[in-house]
Amino acid sequence: MTSDGVVIIGAGQAGFQVAASLRMEGYAGPITLIGDEPNLPYQRPPLSKGFIAGKQEIEATALRPFAFYATHRIDLLTGVKVTEIDRVSRRVVLASGRAIPYHALVLAVGARNRTLPVKGAELDGVCYLRTDAEAVDIRQRLEQARDVAVIGGGFIGLELAAAARTLGKSVRVLEVQSRLMPRVVSPILSDFYRDVHSSHGVHVSLGVVLSEIAGHKGKVIEVVLSDGSVYPADLILVGIGVVPNMELAHDAGLGVSNGIVVNEKLETEDETVYAIGDCADHPNPFANPSAGGRVRIESVQNAVDQAKCIAAAIVGRAENYRAVPWFWTDQFDIKLQMAGLSGGSAHVVKRGEPESRKFSVFYFRDGQLAAVDSVNRPGDHLSARKLIGAGIAITPEQAADPNVDLKALGH
Amino acid sequence: MSLFGKKQTETASVTYISDAGETHQVAVPIGDSVMEGAIKNGIDGIVAECGGACQCATCHVYVDEAFLGLLKPIQEDEDEMLNTTASERRPNSRLSCQIPVTKELDGLIVRTPPTQQ
């Protein structure tokens, strides 16, 4: 056996899971896990939830303690940048010049935040959230802040808005679309969440365009909208989506599109190179086939399940990736759980009423159940994972009828 | 062991027994969950894929009967999640991320199932 092992670029949730799953699968070769951030691999979801709200400390986000990596013979390189993938000689080259050979290479390189393209975006007090360091910075700034403007009414923006409001700040959410979370949820949920945030005292401005951030002595003081309205803000939290990190793959001659392009086995066009997690543009059996059936998904579930899929492949059990997508978001005391992918769903029915704060929305695409979003209804969510995963037929009438037992249908 | 300088905190003893009978007794800070106690101490029988959000069922444990009555009752989301565990659900099944360690739980014994996934 050669000393070439598995090299994983990216030490986020996906990269970490590949290393952990390889050892669980009994892989005995060298594993090198390379991350460009300085700390131990950690979970990102709590950063915009429990951590910002002050309910959790930053060290509690570590996926595993330091000792785990030595115990499992995982060579963890933190704060290290990869500069090149040499596919001909199968090595990755680090910024230091060191080269590490591989027989399988995993690109779990993630994504980075899209930045605001407006005047004043460089001012002190304009913050983005992706890393633990950014979360710590935002939490510290929140202690002093009075007026918080959140740019973007998506998951991250709304979670941050809820956390800031819970800390007693004056909070205004600015969303360019006419409703909240417009990319992923139905208007029923958008309206519900607008009401939830409003009832907690968050100001929600929809259909508004930020034109400028005004500052004084280098610090933000207000946001200016295209309709001329001006709101004071001493802290601006930006959550306007991400851009996948594709440069390394592109430079190595691999195909990129809405991410690093992979097939149903999560292999790039070079079968020794995989791409998984936030950066992977992959065919997904639950995606809208009319839109090409390909997606890039930013979630823990996607990161973990894709990691397990390729860890199994590396030890000789290659299978197509076909895990049901699921996701959750916590805002105030409300948990939204999502199963499936709703893209392309023309028919939507409710089960339960939003007023009760316990309801689900079922999305049908070409007559088939495509996705279910559940608010405080964990039973519906878990049934949905099963129904969607197994492709069990259910009609919109059954979905909307609270007397129909979803669990029984799933068996 | 922690990389981060942690201030002195009160702890309670928790014993984790694997399906193979391997025993780990650790001091878990009051307020941490039984899941966190396992993860921070390198106990492999608990996986905790979702990080303690009650979104997966990979921190499943069987709680020693003597301590069952001292736990906070199961909430709806944990109850639903427990129906999806990889190893069989028993009357003493709990998700360890939903058990905050308290002084009263000092000496707690949990057994990890044969598999979490």
Who among A59, A330, A335 is closest to B2 (CB)? A59
Q: Any idea where the domains of chain A sit in the sequence?
A: 5-112+243-314, 115-240, 333-410
For residue B25, pLDDT over 90 is answered with yes
Q: Closest Cα partner for A173 from A129, A133, A205?
A: A205
With CB atoms and an 8 Å threshold, state whether B42 touches A337.
no
> What pLDDT is recorded for position B7?
54
Residues A163-174, mean pLDDT to the nearest whole number: 97
What is the rounded average pLDDT for all residues in chain B? 92
Residue A282: phi and psi, rounded to 5, are: -130, 155
Which residue type, as a one-letter code, is found at position A64? Answer: R
- The CATH class of A5-112+243-314 is alpha beta
- Closest to B105 in 3D by CA, of B24, B7, B37, B54: B37
CATH class of A333-410: alpha beta
SS3 content of chain A, % helix, strand, coil (to 5): 30, 30, 40
Beta strands in A273-355 (DSSP E): 273-275, 280-283, 294-295, 326-331, 334-340, 347-351
Mean pLDDT value of segment A315-329? 97
Q: What are the tens digits of pLDDT across the range B37-57? A: 999 998 989 999 998 999 999
Could you tell me which residues are beta bridge partners of residue A265?
A: none
* Residues in chain B within 8 Å Cβ distance of A60: 32, 36
Which pLDDT tens digit goes with each residue over A6-39? 999 999 999 999 999 999 999 999 999 999 999 9
Domains A5-112+243-314 and A333-410 share a fold: no
Mean pLDDT value of segment A259-276: 98
Residue B3 predicted with pLDDT over 60: no
- Residue B42: its chain A contacts at CB < 8 A? 64-65, 67-68, 71
| Residue A3: predicted pLDDT | 66
Instruction: Give the one of B1, B50, B83 whose C-beta lies nearest to A382's C-beta.
Output: B83
**Cβ neighbours for A173, distance < 8 A, ≥ 6 positions apart:** A150, A152, A153, A157, A158, A161, A180, A197, A202, A203, A204, A205
CA distance B40 to chain A (A): 6
pLDDT of residue B8: 62
Instruction: Flag if B80 and A382 touch (Cβ within 8 Å).
Output: yes
pLDDT digits (tens, 9 = 90+) for A343-386: 999 999 999 999 999 999 999 999 999 999 999 999 999 999 99
Question: Pairing relation of β-strands A91-94 and A99-107?
Answer: antiparallel
8 Å CB contact of A71 and B6 = no
pLDDT of residue A410: 80
Tokens 């999560």 correspond to: A266
Residue from A68, A61, A74 nearest A311 by CA: A74
Judged against a pLDDT cut of 50, whether residue B89 lies above it is answered with yes
Nearest Cα residue in chain B from A70 = B42
Indicate if the pLDDT at residue A59 is higher than 70: yes
The owner of tokens 């009438």 is A397
Percent of chain B with pLDDT over 70: 93
- Which structural domains are found in chain B, ordered by start? 11-111 (3.10.20.30)
pLDDT averaged over every residue in chain A? 96
User: What is the pTM (predicted TM-score) of this model?
Assistant: 0.95
The three-state secondary structure class of A379 is: helix
Tell whether B51 lies on the interface with A, counting CB pairs under 8 A. yes
Q: Which of A48-57, A83-92, A136-145 has the lowest mean pLDDT?
A: A48-57
Mind listing the pLDDT tens digit for each residue in A208-259? Answer: 999 999 999 999 999 999 999 999 999 999 999 999 999 999 999 999 999 9
In this model, does residue B4 exceed pLDDT 60?
no
According to the model, what pLDDT value does residue B1 have? 42
pLDDT value at position B2?
A: 45
pLDDT band at B73 (very low <50, low <70, confident <90, very high): very high
pLDDT attached to residue B117: 84
What pLDDT does A97 receive?
Answer: 97
CA A22 from centre of chain? 23
Residues A265-284 have a mean pLDDT of: 98
Interface test with B, best of A335, A372, A375 (most B CBs within 10 A): A335
Find all residues with CB under 8 Å of A117, minimum gap 6, and list them: none
pLDDT value, residue A308: 97
Pairing outcome for strands A230-232 and A219-225: antiparallel
Long-range CB pairs of B13-16 (<8 Å, 24+ gap) are: B13/B106, B13/B107, B13/B108, B14/B101, B14/B105, B14/B108, B14/B109, B14/B110, B15/B107, B15/B108, B15/B109, B15/B110, B16/B43, B16/B45, B16/B46, B16/B61, B16/B110, B16/B111, B16/B112
Task: Note whether B76 contacts A378, CB cutoff 8 Å.
Answer: yes
Nearest chain A residue to B41 by CA distance is: A65
ipTM score assigned to the predicted complex:
0.86
Which among A71, A379, A381 has CB closest to B42? A71
**B88-114 mean pLDDT:** 97
Largest CA distance in chain B: 39
For domain A115-240, give the fold.
Answer: FAD/NAD(P)-binding domain (3.50.50)
Q: Does the beta carbon of B7 lie under 8 angstroms from any beta carbon of chain A?
A: no
